Amino acid sequence: MKHLGIAIMFIASLCCAQTADTFQPSATNVWGAEYPRVDNEGRVQVRIKAPDASKVKLNFWSGPKLDMVKQPDGLWTVTTPPLVPGLHYYTINIDGAEVSDLNTHAFFGGTKEASAVEVPEPGSTYYSIQDVPHGQVREVWYNSKVTGTWRHALVYLPPKYDTQNRVRYPVLYLQHGAGEDETGWVRQGHANFILDNLIASKTCKPMIIVMAYGYARRAGQAAPDLTGKPFGSPEMLKAMQDMAAAFEDDVTQVLIPYIDATFRTLSDRDHRAMAGLSMGGMQTFQITLDHLDLFSYIGGFSGAGGMLVLGDRKLDPKTDYNGVFGDPAAFAKKVHLLWIGVGTQEPERMRAGLQRLHTSLQEADIQHVFYESPGTDHEWQTWRRDLKDFAPRLFNIGEVK
């Protein structure tokens, strides 16, 4: 009996040891890579081989910056404190050189290809691939008379698009942020899976989503020299305004007609929406409020209002955006949904500016939705949650025909 008791205790301790180590390879890893790893508490373990290096540092862009520890076999390792759920960009600094971790897939963010790790959100499956009917994401190229170039976009087509060939669909134009590109909403944001799951649960109308390249320069226009010009400088603001104006013309004069001619869309304004994150939210407000003849649903994810929000002043409903907020009743007839979102842990200037915009709209009696993502920063988990809340509110004034 004594030996049996010892055996039971040994097995129990072994099971506890196995349970305590819950680290698993990240969903962002390349095939066969064991690291980076994530545990149930959201801690991340990173390992990289650099036997000749003298100093290696891990840099999570919106998280910890940690010195890695060299092991006898030349591998450098580190374990982070718990991170909030979501996708986290990171790079590794090896003796002063910033590099990506070859163990992960590359994601375009911060104007470069970077590594990323996915920390799962406990109990959440809304942005995961599920056993439901799936739509398709297709690549398209269109020739823009505005930019004088071929331009690229990704298009999500809902389940049954190819089999129910008489059905037409509403369209959401969904924009990325600064430093990212048109692949972001699929690769980092999982917008296709979010829509698949919402449509399968019948909480969202089937729709087409167009994700376009958000940078534009007019044909023949030279790139501005912004060397040494800080963010917010007159030269920087002028360059941003010029790009925004060119992109606005590209969307309204070229992209929308191309999408309506290529896919089975419902092409009236009541079935057309636009939303975007950060820079894409700024673009959305400019484009939609300049063209309420084209759009009736508007969403700003951590970027609604653009320079108005960052300019530390309240909305003037009589003058801003050509006075579209000056008549609340008229605005409500034209705009079926005005939606604004922000993460509760976003930079103070961004959060305060969006709160101020929300308050200004309330004071102007403009109907709108204001959503706060709990515990998240200026990051993809905020924008995934934004899309999950925003998409079910679209196109509910009539059924898809």
Residue 232 banded pLDDT, cuts 50, 70, 90: low
- Please report which confidence band the pLDDT of residue 17 belongs to, taking 50, 70 and 90 as the band edges: very low
In angstroms, rounded to a whole number, what is the distance separating the alpha carbons of residues 229 and 133?
49
CA distance 134 to 354: 34
Residue 372's DSSP bridge partners are 342
Could you tell me if 192 and 200 are in contact, meaning their C-beta atoms sit under 8 angstroms apart? no
> Is the confidence at residue 159, as pLDDT, over 60?
yes
Cβ–Cβ under 8 Å, residues 64 and 80: yes
Instruction: Report how far residue 237's alpha carbon sits from residue 220's, in angstroms, rounded to the nearest whole number.
Output: 20
Contact criterion met (CB below 8 Å) for 281 and 326 = no
- Residue 308 is predicted with a pLDDT of 64
pLDDT given at position 43: 97
- pLDDT number for residue 20: 57
Assign 231 a pLDDT band (cuts: 50, 70, 90).
Answer: low
pLDDT of residue 311: 64
pLDDT band at 304 (very low <50, low <70, confident <90, very high): confident
**Burial letters for 209-231: b for 16+ Cβ neighbours within 10 Å, e otherwise?**
bbbbbbebbeeeeeeeeeeeeee
Instruction: Tell me the average pLDDT of the chain.
Output: 90
Provide mean pLDDT across the span 356-361.
93
Express as a percent the part of the chain with pLDDT over 70. Answer: 91
pLDDT of residue 401: 38
User: What is residue 309's predicted lDDT score, i.e. its pLDDT?
Assistant: 64
Calculate mean pLDDT across residues 68-83.
Answer: 96
Among all chains, which residue has been given the structure tokens 């955006």?
321
Q: Who wins on pLDDT, 53 or 229?
A: 53
Q: Regarding the domain with residue range 136-393, which homologous superfamily does it belong to in the CATH classification?
A: Alpha/Beta hydrolase fold, catalytic domain (3.40.50.1820)
Residue 243's pLDDT band (cuts 50, 70, 90) = confident
Assess whether pLDDT exceeds 90 at residue 340.
yes
Single-letter code of the amino acid located at 240: M
Check whether the bond before 392 is cis (ω within 30° of 0).
no
Which whole number is the average pLDDT over 194-222? 95
| pLDDT tens digits for range 88-139 | 999 999 999 999 999 999 999 988 999 999 999 998 899 999 999 999 999 9
pLDDT band for position 4 (cuts 50, 70, 90): very low
The CA angle 86-90-92, to the nearest 5 degrees, is 155
Q: Which residue has the higher pLDDT, 349 or 288?
A: 288
In angstroms, what CA-CA distances link 361 with 59, 271, 337?
39, 24, 13
The encoded tokens of residue 84 equal 């909030």
Q: How confident is the model at residue 292, as a pLDDT?
A: 97
Distance between CA atoms of residues 288 and 252, nearest Å: 10
Averaged pLDDT, 141-155: 97
Query: What confidence score (pLDDT) does residue 310 get?
Result: 62
Q: So where are the chain's domains? A: 22-119, 136-393
Stated pTM of the model: 0.91
Q: What is the pLDDT of residue 68?
A: 97
Count of Cβ atoms closer than 10 Å to residue 270 Cβ: 14
- pLDDT reported for residue 265: 98
Q: Sheet with 44-49: list strands edge to edge.
A: 24-25, 37-38, 44-49, 75-79, 69-70
- Whether 10 has a pLDDT exceeding 60, the answer reads no
> What is the CATH class of 22-119?
mainly beta
Q: What is the pLDDT of residue 11?
A: 43
Tell me which residue of 236, 239, 243, 235 sits closest to 216, measured CA to CA: 243
State phi, psi for 192 to the nearest 5 degrees. -65, -40
For the record, the structure tokens of 52 come out as: 């000749």
Q: Among positive and negative, which fits the CA dihedral 106, 25, 68, 71?
A: negative
Average of per-residue pLDDT across 345-361: 91
Quick one: pLDDT at residue 6?
45
Cα–Cα dist 117/37, whole Å: 8
